[in-house]
């Protein structure tokens, strides 16, 4: 959730730089996010294959800071979306347009986990799944840190 790095798909528009002071959707990143979600959920690609595919097609998927995308980059993209329209950036809370909904977030977590099981094989450790599936935002809502209407 929090931190100094914006979730993939968003761009900060600081007032001092002439912006609105809001966090806006980066349409190009949003398109990349939705494409990679499709690769994960419908083509069942692993995070490594997704990273490789992004790196192979640099004209269609230009890296933000010119870096190579790794499995961890893809993993970070998938586990930190603002699926409830809230995010924390540099100590401040922002309302943002969600790029995906909570149900999609859950499907992504399940696919990532299935992925991990396929490549590393821990068929017995089902308890890992439960911990892994939680949306941090919902978890906070449940523990009463947030007072959400729904
Ligand atoms: Zn949630």
Is the confidence at residue 37, as pLDDT, over 90?
Answer: yes
Instruction: Tell me the CA–centroid distance for residue 135 and ligand 1, in Å.
Output: 5
What does CATH list as the number for 10-142? 3.90.1750
Is the confidence at residue 116, as pLDDT, over 80?
Answer: no
* 57 vs 72: CA distance, rounded Å: 18
The model's pTM is 0.77
Tell me the longest C-alpha to C-alpha distance in the chain. 54
Instruction: Tell me the CA–centroid distance for residue 78 and ligand 1, in Å.
Output: 13
Instruction: Tell me the CA–centroid distance for residue 13 and ligand 1, in Å.
Output: 26
Instruction: Tell me the CA–centroid distance for residue 79 and ligand 1, in Å.
Output: 11
How would residue 67 be classed by pLDDT, with cut points 50, 70 and 90? confident
Instruction: Give residue limits of the domains in the chain.
Output: 10-142
Transcribe the chain into DSSP letters. Answer: --SSSPPTTEEE--GGGTS-SSEEE-HHHHHHHHHHHHHHHTS---HHHHHHHHHH-TTTS--TTSPPP-HHHHHHHHH---TTSEEEETTEEEE---SS-HHHHHHHHHHHHHHHHHHH--TT-HHHHHHHH--HHHHHHHTTSS----
| Confidence (pLDDT) at 98 | 92
């Amino acid at each position: 959730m929090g931190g100094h790095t914006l979730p993939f798909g968003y761009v900060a528009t600081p007032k001092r730089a002439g912006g609105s002071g809001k966090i806006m959707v980066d349409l190009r990143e949003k398109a990349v996010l939705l494409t990679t979600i499709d690769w994960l959920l419908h083509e069942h690609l692993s995070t490594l294959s997704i990273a490789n595919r992004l790196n192979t097609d640099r004209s269609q998927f230009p890296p933000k800071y010119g870096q190579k995308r790794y499995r961890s980059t893809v993993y970070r993209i998938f586990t930190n979306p603002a699926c409830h329209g809230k995010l924390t950036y540099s100590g401040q809370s922002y309302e943002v347009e969600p790029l995906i909904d909570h149900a999609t977030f859950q499907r992504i977590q399940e696919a990532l986990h299935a992925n991990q099981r396929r490549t590393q094989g821990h068929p017995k450790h089902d308890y890992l799944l439960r911990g892994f599936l939680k949306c941090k935002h919902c978890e906070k809502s449940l523990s009463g840190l947030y007072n959400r209407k729904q």
